[in-house]
Amino acid sequence: MFALDPVGSLYRHFLPVGRAIEITRLGRGPRRLLFMCDPECNRQVLLNTKGMRTSGLWPLKSPQGSAQQNLRSHPLKTHGSDQAVFHELIDPYFNRGAINQHFGDIRRIMVAEIEHWRPGVHDFYKLARRCTEQVAFSLLFGVDENARFAELGDLLHEYHRANWTPASHLFPVDQPGTPYYKTLARAEALQSFLYAWMRVPSQTEPSEFIFHRFAEARGADGCPFSQKQIAGTVAMLSWLSYETMATALSWAVFLLAQHPAVLADLLDELSAHGPIQNTEANSLLTLPLLDAVIKESMRLIAPVPFMSFRMAEAGDIAGQQFARGSRFYVIPHLTHRLPELYAAPDRFRPGRWFSIKPSAYEYLPFGAGQRRCPGAWLAMTNLKVALAALLGRFRPSIPAGARIDRKYAVVTMPRNGLPVELVPRDRDVPAFTRGSQSGTIFDLFTPEPDRPVLH
C-alpha cells in the first residue's frame, strides 16, 4: 500500500504508532531505515550535510551514459562541500534580496498571465503551472528568453510524470511502446532541448543567465562543470522552481473554494488593500490573512510531504551510529498533523497562525536548516502575488460532481487535473454544497462548517 499511496499510508499506519519509527527485518544488514516526524528528529537529520545526501527527483534507473542517467545526476543529491558550492551558485537567483528586487517583474508577469484567463471551468493546475513557469524561468534565464519557456515547461512536466509512472518501474524494458522506453525518450528530448539552448547566444546579461553562470563556475574539486552536469542541474532547478509553487497554489485555491467563509474574509482583506497592480512588496507580503491562508494550505497539504535522505558515509546522528546506506524519511505531512503543535490538525483554520509560531522543524513545507529550499522566499512571494491577482478578478468554485484525486510524485499533485470554475467578482458564485465533490484529496482534511472557528 505504501508504494500506491505513500502519503495516505504514512498517516494511517505511522502516525498512530509513534514520532520516530525504525523498520527492521528487511534484509538490509547494518543499514537502518527510519521514518520520523518528531521536530527534534527533524532537526538532527536536516542539520547533517556532511555525510547525508538527498534522494533525487527522477527515480527511474537507466543504462550507463543515457540521458536519463545524466538528468538524475544533479546537485540535489550532493552533500558536504559539493552542496555548499551549489548553494553559492544559485543563491543570487533566489535569495530574499534578489526576489524583493524583482518584485515588480514578478507582479507584472503574474498579472499579465492572469489577465488572459477567462471565466468558466478550467484545469486550474495547468493554469497555475503556466504562470509559475513564466515567473521562475524569467528569473533563471531572463525575460528575453521567454519564447522557450512553454516548451521547457511541457518537456519537464511530461518527463517528470513519466518517471513516476508505476509501469516504468515494474517493467523496465527498453523496447518501443513500453512506458520505460517512453521515459528514456522523454529524457533524450529534454536533454537535447537544453543542449541546443546552451549553444545559442543569449540576449540575457551573462551574469543573470543560469547556463552561463554554471559554465563559468568550478565545482568543489576545482574542475569546470560538464555539459551533462549543467543540463542536469538546470533541469532540476527549473522543475523545482515552478512545480512546488504550482501545486501549492492549486491546493490553496482548492481549500479556499471548500471554505467560502475564509474566502470571503480574504477577499475583504485584498479589497481593502487595493489593486495588485499598484501594490508594493512590503505592503502585500505582510497582509496577515493572506499570509495565514498560504501557510495553512501548505501545512494541511504539504508541497513535499516527505523527504528521503541516505547516509553517504557512516556517521553519528543524535548519539547513534548509522552505517553507510542507512535511509531516513523526514515527514512534514505528519509533523504538520501533530496535535500537540496544531489543534484540530486535519482542519483548515488559517486563523491559527495569528496565535502560533512553530519552529523551523515543526513547520517545514520547504525543509529546514541546511536543507531548506533556497527558493522558499520566491515561492511565498509568488503565491501571495498569484492569489492577490487571481482574487482581484475571480472567485474560485469547484464544480458540483467534480472528482479530485491526488498523486505523489515528489510533490502532492492533482492526478487528473483540478477543475475550478473562475467566476467574475461581479457575479454570484454557484451555491456551495458540501459533499458534492469526491476524490482522494478529501482524505487529507476535514472540511470546516460554513463559518469556521479561527483557532
Structural domains for the chain: 6-444 (1.10.630.10)
Q: C-alpha dihedral over 72, 74, 80, 86, to 10 degrees? A: -170
Range in 20-34, 45-59, 199-213, 305-319 with the lowest mean pLDDT: 199-213
Cα 339 off chain centre by: 24
With 90 as the cut, is the pLDDT of residue 16 above it? no
Cell numbers representing residue 393 in the block: 478578478
Over range 81-101, report the average pLDDT. Answer: 85
Half-sphere exposure of 310 (CA within 13 A, CB side): 10
Task: Judge if pTM exceeds 0.75.
Answer: yes
With 50 as the cut, is the pLDDT of residue 455 above it? no
Widest pairwise Cα distance in the chain:
65
Beta bridge partners of 20: 36
Range in 14-18, 80-84, 238-242, 260-264 with the lowest mean pLDDT: 80-84
Half-sphere exposure of 67 (CA within 13 A, CB side): 19
Q: Show the CA angle centred on residue 399, arms to residues 395 and 402, nearest 5°.
A: 140
Dihedral pair phi/psi, residue 381, rounded to 5°: -65, -45
Dihedral pair phi/psi, residue 94, rounded to 5°: -125, -5
- The answer to whether 140 and 241 are in contact (CB under 8 A) is yes
- At a CB cut-off of 8 Å and minimum separation 6, what does 351 contact? 292, 452, 453, 454, 455
SS3 for 21?
A: strand
pLDDT of residue 356: 97
Mean pLDDT, the chain, whole residue set: 89
Range in 201-205, 328-332, 408-412 with the lowest mean pLDDT: 201-205
With 60 as the cut, is the pLDDT of residue 201 above it? yes
Comparing 174 with 372, the larger pLDDT belongs to 174
Over range 301-313, report the average pLDDT. Answer: 90
Residue with grid cell 494550505, as numbered in its chain: 297
Q: What is the pLDDT of residues 414-429, one digit of tens each?
A: 999 999 999 998 887 7
Over range 400-411, report the average pLDDT. Answer: 94
With 90 as the cut, is the pLDDT of residue 28 above it? no
pLDDT of residue 17: 79
With 50 as the cut, is the pLDDT of residue 454 above it? no
- At a CB cut-off of 8 Å and minimum separation 6, what does 382 contact? 106, 110, 132, 135, 136, 245, 249
Q: What is the pLDDT of residues 139-166, one digit of tens each?
A: 999 888 889 999 999 999 999 999 999 9
Cα 51 off chain centre by: 25
Residue of 238, 211, 236 lying closest to 225 (CA atoms):
211
CA dist., res. 290 & res. 43, Å (int):
28
CA dist., res. 366 & res. 304, Å (int):
7
Residue of 249, 289, 252 lying closest to 270 (CA atoms):
289
pLDDT of residue 453: 46
Q: What is the pLDDT of residues 43-69, one digit of tens each?
A: 988 888 777 888 888 999 988 999 999
pLDDT of residue 24: 79
Element housing 120 (H / E): strand 120-123
Half-sphere exposure of 352 (CA within 13 A, CB side): 22
DSSP character for 201?
P
